[in-house]
Structure 1
Amino acid sequence: MTRGAERALSVEHWLLSAAETPGRARAEWEESGRALLRCGGIFSAVRLSARLVYAVTQTTCLADIDNYLARALHGGPVFLDQLTHRYYVLVGASTRYRSEWDQPRCEDAEFIGRGHFLGVPPVQATTPEAGPSYWCVPMDSLGDLTRPDAVTQLLSVGRFQLTSRGERATGE
């Protein structure tokens, strides 16, 4: 087994520890390209609208967006649900205690934690052609999550860009 394959298997097992039934989650990955994993334990997520991500990156080209997110979020894991046009940034569960998530839910960004399940793509899904969701920025190693400050900065830049273009940044 190659070093990359070993790493992917470790990440897969780590993600499966958030499943109610790991065997069922593995089957969901094979059947539908997504498995429901519990948030608020080993990870939580910040959901970002494509509108906000497009404003930050100033493009709709998925390859360019993926590269930008990898740099801006310092390699922190991100996946795109291509059906809902939402980006999901995986963060630590303690991110929910940050002041920016004390606000009411907004359209462009929302913290997803305890009490929620998230349809996560398999670790092998790393291109848009892989299925309904894919990892724009794959998880490099188990437990390697995105730093909350990087997400906050991305959100701030996106809202600034939207406002600069005369669009209303929702959730302010």
Structure 2
Amino acid sequence: MTMAETPTSRMTLPTHQLHGRVVTAAERRLAVEHWLLMATDDWQRARQEWRRDGVALLRCGGLFSAIRISAPVVHAAAGTDDPTAVDHYLAQVLLGGPVFTDRSNLRYYVLVGNSTGLRREWTLRRDDAEFMGRGHYVGVPAVDATSREVAGSYWCVEMASAGELAAPDVASQLVRIGRFRLARGEGACNG
């Protein structure tokens, strides 16, 4: 990844190499937005929701599914409830897989493939973590909502490219680690 300056904004944005072509963060985010919009029947409504509310209601079970995880489980796994440290931890443990948080409901959402729901650990619903596939909808933040300072829901780990989801194994491991640490009384340690 390199840094490039855009002529219109004069700000530096991260860029990626794609088949010998430099792709700016703005181009990548647009591609991700278009991909996410395929999870709704009304692109215009979803875009309006992103502009007005910061989140759009998208359908799970087609392009992607989500694992909804309570903040205490994530914080216990990370060993902290410091938002910056948790975001860094999630980027590492999920190997760059996309995750966003809804701070008002104290939940994290890891985007995964639909077949994840067939795994044994996701066949029973539990309060601290739940697989959300066909028949579920999720409020997904706008792709440019990447800071907790400006959004109630934001991407802790942005989607690296359209359709790139978290691996089921690492998402399940995150939940197992958090549950294990909570069971041992090792909640978030603030730091």
- Tell me whether the two structures share a fold, i.e. TM-score over 0.5: yes
Correspondence for 1:108 among 106, 128, 131: 128
Aligned to 1:154: 174
3-state secondary structure, aligned to 1:134: strand
1:52 aligns with 2:69: no
Name structure 1 gaps, 5 residues minimum. Answer: 168-172
Q: Select the structure of larger CA radius of gyration.
A: 2
For residues 65-91 of structure 1, the C-alpha deviation after alignment (integer angstroms, 9 at most, x for no partner) is 000000000000000001101000000
- How much has 1:130 moved relative to structure 2? 2.6
CA RMSD of superposed structures (Å): 1.3
Aligned to 2:156: 136
Distance 2:162 2:186 in 1: 41
- What is the one-letter code of the residue matched to 2:83? L
Aligned to 2:15: none
TM norm structure 2 = 0.84
Q: Are the aligned partners of 1:45 and 1:88 in contact in 2 as well (CA < 8 Å)?
A: yes
% identical aligned pairs:
54
Aligned to 1:43: 64
Q: Are the aligned partners of 1:20 and 1:38 in contact in 2 as well (CA < 8 Å)?
A: no
Q: Which runs of 4+ in 1 moved over 6 A?
A: none
3-state secondary structure, aligned to 1:13: helix
Distance 1:45 1:124 in 2: 19
1:3 aligns with 2:24: yes
Q: Are the aligned partners of 1:79 and 1:135 in contact in 2 as well (CA < 8 Å)?
A: yes
Aligned to 1:85: 106
Q: Are the aligned partners of 2:29 and 2:143 in contact in 1 as well (CA < 8 Å)?
A: yes
3-state secondary structure, aligned to 2:68: strand
Distance 2:38 2:172 in 1: 27
3-state secondary structure, aligned to 1:64: helix
- How much has 1:164 moved relative to structure 2? 1.0
More helix by share: 1
For residues 105-136 of structure 1, the C-alpha deviation after alignment (integer angstroms, 9 at most, x for no partner) is 11110000101111000000001023220000
- How much has 1:63 moved relative to structure 2? 0.4
TM norm structure 1 = 0.93
Distance 2:186 2:156 in 1: 28
